Amino acid sequence: MANWRKFVNGAPVTAGLVTINVVVFILMVAVYHIQGVSLFSTFSGQSLLAAGARYTPAIQAGQWWRLFTPMFIHMSVMHLGMNMVVLYFLGQQIETLFGHWRLLAIYLVSGLTGNIWSAIFLPTTLSAGASTSIFGLFGAFIMLGIVFHGNPYIRAMSRQFVLLVVLNLVMDIFSAGIDIWGHIGGLIGGFAIALVIGVPTVHGQIKWIWRGLGGLALLAICAIGLPLL
């Protein structure tokens, strides 16, 4: 309990996001238990669709919220657990560097851009999970390594995250059922929004040309996604 209190006090937005994802999963188990779903089951496609998973035909029919809801929905307890462990550790670092509301912006914008790309490139499949947003957090770290390359600590840390991203994307290519396009879209979105909002705790300024490029990238992704609405 003391560790959780320390976590909440130090990284309240990360704690809130983890809590929301876990509560949503528990509620889904409670709602769909009548269909034979238990804590350790994988939800059926019908259950995921009803809960708000990303499905392009439904988005095109006017259910635009499916570009946001998937970042809080998980397919199984294993899926949830893996994502929440990464969010727990990565979110705290991003929240310390960027601040509370900037972390929330990175999480939400990355989830949106990831789901837009997923909807475009995988239109006939269902997708859900916080991994689009988590890849956005990776993207924010990579941005730090590029823009603040002269800072040895950030450069070293960023290299580690680049390696993790590459390994994850390679695994995505060879794994069935993984939404690689959602991950790539989230990664780009996280990189771009981090450029736009900046990082107040790191010495140095992000040049306006970088901020402009980040803003243009976000506008381009949203413009590509407009036909879905």
Phi, psi of 172 (to 5 degrees): -60, -40
> How far, in Å, CA of 41 to CA of 27, rounded?
14
Calculate Rg over the CA atoms of the chain: 17
Residue 55's alpha-carbon distances to 70, 87, 105, 129, 177, in angstroms, are 10, 24, 23, 13, 14
CB proximity list for 197: less than 8 A, separation 6 or greater: 98, 102, 105, 106
Q: For the packed helices 100-121 and 208-225, what is the interaxial angle rounded to 10 degrees?
A: 40
> How far, in Å, CA of 95 to CA of 11, rounded?
6
Could you tell me the two tokens for 133? 């947003």
Q: Identify which of 92, 97, 130 has the alpha carbon closest to the alpha carbon of residue 14.
A: 92
> How far, in Å, CA of 93 to CA of 114, rounded?
21
Give catalytic residues, as residue numbers.
Answer: 131, 183
Distance of CA 157 to the CA centre of its chain: 20
The CA dihedral of 132, 133, 136, 141, to the nearest 10 degrees, is -130
